[in-house]
Amino acid sequence: MSNKKVNFRMDFIQEIVSVDKSNKTITFRLIPDPRRYEWKKVEGKRYLYDKLDDSLFSEEVYLNLVNQMNGQNIYFQPQKINDVEQYVKERLKSIRERLRGIEKPAVLIDKSEAFLDSLAVNKLQFVILSVDIVKSTKMAAELDQERYARLISTTLYEMSEIIPKFNGHVLKYTGDGLIAYFPAPSFITKNDLAIDCALTLRQLVYEGLNQIFKDEGYPSIDIRIGIDSGEAYVVRIGSPETKQHKDIIGSVVSLAAKIQSLGKPGEILLGETTLRNLHTMWREKCEIVILDESWTYKIGEDIYKIYKVKINVN
Domains of the chain: 12-69 (no CATH), 84-309 (3.30.70.1230)
Average pLDDT, the chain: 89
41 or 105, higher pLDDT? 41
State the pLDDT confidence band at 2, using cuts at 50, 70 and 90. Answer: very low
Query: What span, in angstroms and rounded, lies between the C-alpha atoms of 131 and 159?
Result: 9
State the pLDDT confidence band at 69, using cuts at 50, 70 and 90. Answer: low
Specify the pLDDT at position 155: 97
| C-beta separation of 180 from 170 below 8 A | yes
Does the pLDDT of residue 188 top 80, yes or no?
Answer: no
Residues 75-110: tens digit of each pLDDT: 567 788 989 999 999 999 999 999 998 877 777 788
Does the pLDDT of residue 213 top 60, yes or no?
Answer: yes
Specify the pLDDT at position 3: 43
Specify the pLDDT at position 74: 57
Max avg pLDDT among 15-24, 60-69, 112-121, 254-263: 254-263
Specify the pLDDT at position 250: 95
| C-beta separation of 191 from 183 below 8 A | no
Does the pLDDT of residue 313 top 50, yes or no?
Answer: no
Query: What span, in angstroms and rounded, lies between the C-alpha atoms of 312 and 198?
Result: 14
Residues 22-33: tens digit of each pLDDT: 876 777 777 889
Residues 230-282: tens digit of each pLDDT: 999 999 999 999 999 999 999 999 999 999 999 999 999 999 999 999 999 99
Specify the pLDDT at position 149: 95
Specify the pLDDT at position 255: 97
pLDDT above 90 covers what percent of the chain? 70
Residues 124-174: tens digit of each pLDDT: 999 999 999 999 999 999 999 999 999 999 999 999 999 999 999 999 999
Sign of the torsion angle spanned by Cα atoms 200, 201, 207, 212: positive
pTM of the model: 0.86
The average pLDDT across 27-54 equals 89
2 or 196, higher pLDDT? 196
Does the pLDDT of residue 13 top 90, yes or no?
Answer: no
133, 139, 195 from 155: Cα distances, Å: 9, 14, 19
DSSP β-ladder status, 268-271 and 223-239: parallel
